[in-house]
A and B are shown apart, each in its own frame.
Chain A
Amino acid sequence: MEARTSIIEKRLSSINRIIAVASGKGGVGKSLVASTLALNLVKNGKKVGLLDLDLYGPSSHIILDIHDVFPKEDYGIIPPTMHGINFMSVVYFTEDKPAPFRGIDITNIIIELLAITQWGELDYLIIDLPPGIGEETLDIIRFIKKAEFLVISTPSKVALAAVDKLIKILQEMKLPTIGIIENMVHQPSSLIKKSMKQYNIRYLGQLLYDSTIENNLGFPNKLVKTNFAKELDNLMNSFLYQSP
């Protein structure tokens, strides 16, 4: 009998809301949305945790310029607090080397991280998921019953085709879905908004393509001042400051 999974619920019991930032497609800006969401919440006076579960290609630590820190060991492991965010990532343990994990390794890493991480009291835990509906997404669904999904897409038909599949799974499993954000919008298009109507998924709004973002990655103080962060903050008012 696996002995680590029973404690996961307790480890997350003092967290008010858990938001899993997901997409069927890679490269749509999940990590940037997750990291900026966390920064914006901190700016709004909330206690926030961020868990980067993109085990093959973690990037939240790059966006937030987190390095040279390691979790403290105390009745488990305590995530370091950086820029006001309690931050946990596999990168502490991989030293950012290539991580050729197989599926069973992924599940074991997620179980271990969830079982030993002491998050304490948080208003929000943001989970940055990798693209698709693989191990990480399925394990979050299995182990974190109160996770609410925030889906990210771009206006592209290609992204939508993959996002559709994620939404079908979320709906089939009757999982709470906050809605969808359309990211990197260059020109007006109703593709995503129209498509979400058939699933009755709330279209939360769009984030315009911001050409200044790349130069602000790794500078959290500058990132929160970008148009991208301001637009996300406006969207947050419509979907985060309401009860789940």
Chain B
Amino acid sequence: MHEWALAESVITTALKAAEKEQLDTITEIIIDIGELQQIEQELFSFAVNDIMKTYSPKLKNTKITVNIQHSTLRCKHCDSTWTFKDIEKNLNDDEAEAVHFLPEVAVVHSRCPKCNSPDFEIQAGRGVTIRSIKGTKK
């Protein structure tokens, strides 16, 4: 599961941020994940919790919140917008799996639903970001 690799990235990033802010404990991490990442949320949450057990005592009682960010794709030719759900049904299993690993290949395997252009941008709904971290200092 590559969800595990992304979960490990989140925990590593949170611990680095906590070190920078001199936090003794991390009480909450809010994570935003783009819809295009197509992660299995249950697997991801399981991986985060599993990793937290072994990484640092700072993560002993940390609340994790995962938000899925909806996607917006915009055509650079005709300016129309659409979502990943609008095009997902047209992808075969291999193409959908490729987008799951590398969301940007959506521009390889799909086209603008209105004008069929391959030149469109992912305005929202990709990547893994930490929206906020809360913690305590002694």
Contact = CB atoms under 8 A, between A and B. Distances in A.
Nearest to A94: B108
A109 B102 contact: yes
Interface string A16-38: 00000000000000000000000
A90 to B, nearest CB: 7
Contact of A75 (B5, B17, B104, B129): B5
Contacts of A1: 13, 17, 129-131
Contacts of B68: none
A40 B109 CA distance: 35
Contacts of B31: 3
Given A3-B13, A73-B2, A95 B104 contact: no
A105 B107 contact: yes
Interface centre among B10, B12, B104, B121 (most CB of A within 10 A): B104
Contacts of A105: 104, 107, 122
A109 B98 CA distance: 12
Most chain A CB inside 10 Å of its own CB: which residue of B10, B17, B108: B108
B89 to A, nearest CB: 19
A4 interface: yes
Interface string A62-102: 00000000010111110000000000001011110111111
A130 to B, nearest CB: 16
Contacts of A147: none
Interface in A98-155: 98-102, 104-105, 108-109, 111-113, 115-116, 118
Contacts of A109: 102, 104-105
B135 interface: no
A109 B31 CA distance: 20
A228 B1 CA distance: 41
Contacts of B131: 1
Contacts of B103: 108, 112
A7 interface: yes
Task: State which size class the interface on B falls in.
Answer: 35 or more
Contact of A95 (B13, B98, B126): B98
Given A77-B2, A95-B94, A116-B2, A7 B8 contact: yes
A95 to B, nearest CB: 7
Interface string A43-73: 0000000000000000000000000000101
B10 A77 contact: no
Contacts of B17: 1
- Most chain-A Cβ atoms within 10 A of its Cβ — which of B9, B95, B122? B9
A6 interface: yes
A93 B6 contact: no
Given A1-B130, A95-B98, A97-B108, A76 B121 contact: no
Interface of A: 1-7, 10, 71, 73-77, 90, 92-95, 97-102, 104-105, 108-109, 111-113, 115-116, 118
15 contacts: A1-B13, A2-B127, A3-B10, A4-B127, A5-B9, A6-B9, A7-B12, A7-B13, A74-B1, A94-B105, A95-B108, A98-B108, A100-B119, A104-B121, A112-B103
Given A7-B9, A75-B4, A112-B104, 15 more contacts: A1-B130, A1-B131, A3-B31, A4-B9, A4-B128, A7-B13, A76-B4, A92-B98, A93-B105, A93-B108, A94-B105, A100-B119, A104-B121, A105-B104, A116-B2
